[in-house]
Amino acid sequence: MKSIAVDMDGVLADVYRQFLEMHFQDTGEKISPEAIRGLKEAEAFPLLKKHVHSPGFFENAPLIPGAQDSLKKISAHYKLFIVSAATEFPLSLYEKHRWLNKHFPFIHWRQMVFCGSKEIIKTDIMIDDHFKNLDHFSGETYLFSQPHNETTSPGKHVRVSSWKELEKLLLPDPDKLEQ
């Protein structure tokens, strides 16, 4: 059984929706998704630092559509690990743990990894929205599309735009036929 490392922010948790919403609450200004294509997250959201340090930011993040259902199916065929960069934001550690337990009750604490750099992660496959995590990884790599990476060529990584796409790429034929 192959092992797979799945990122949280931007892959399971819809942090863009959370940023857009919190920016609107703070400023009354609606940021257009089109306007932030290709911008780094910190460029797109000038209040990012404040928001990621706000209690509840990670715990109340909405889900990326389809993530729950697809990850459940994928976990039947792969040794699944959730690998999230979290040590930069100490508050996020507890919140991310709670968020995973709430939305993905089938994921055991043994399958959770909260780290800073992902360079010491060894799995067969990695799914992430950041080049910095995928570029030095030696296994198969899937780049999950988010506005900050959309205008850059995926290079050696396979770009995917949804969990449905990932299902098609990762699940064996019988599961594809089920859909």
Q: Could you list the residues that contact its own copies (CB under 8 A)?
A: 3, 5, 81, 83, 86-88, 90-91, 93-94, 97-98, 108-117, 120-123
Nearer to its own copies, 66 or 139 (CB): 139
Nearer to its own copies, 21 or 59 (CB): 59
Q: How far apart are CB 48 and its own copies at their closest, in Å?
A: 17
Distances (CA, A) of 31 to 11, 24, 45: 21, 8, 9
- Is 175 a catalytic site residue? no
- Rounded CA separation 113/149 (Å): 24
Nearer to its own copies, 120 or 177 (CB): 120
Helix (H) or strand (E) holding 81: strand 79-85
Considering 9, 14, 128, 129, which one is annotated as catalytic? 9
Q: What angle do CA 160, 166, 172 make, to 5 degrees?
A: 145
Q: How far apart are CB 150 and its own copies at their closest, in Å?
A: 26
Nearer to its own copies, 72 or 97 (CB): 97
- Rounded CA separation 118/46 (Å): 26
- Is 14 a catalytic site residue? no
- Rounded CA separation 176/159 (Å): 19
Considering 7, 14, 128, 129, which one is annotated as catalytic? 7
Q: How far apart are CB 131 and its own copies at their closest, in Å?
A: 17
Q: How far apart are CB 166 and its own copies at their closest, in Å?
A: 19
Backbone angles phi, psi at 144, to 5 degrees: -80, 120
Q: Residue 165: which region, alpha, beta or left (left: phi > 0; alpha: psi -120 to 50)?
A: alpha
Task: Give catalytic residue positions.
Answer: 7, 9
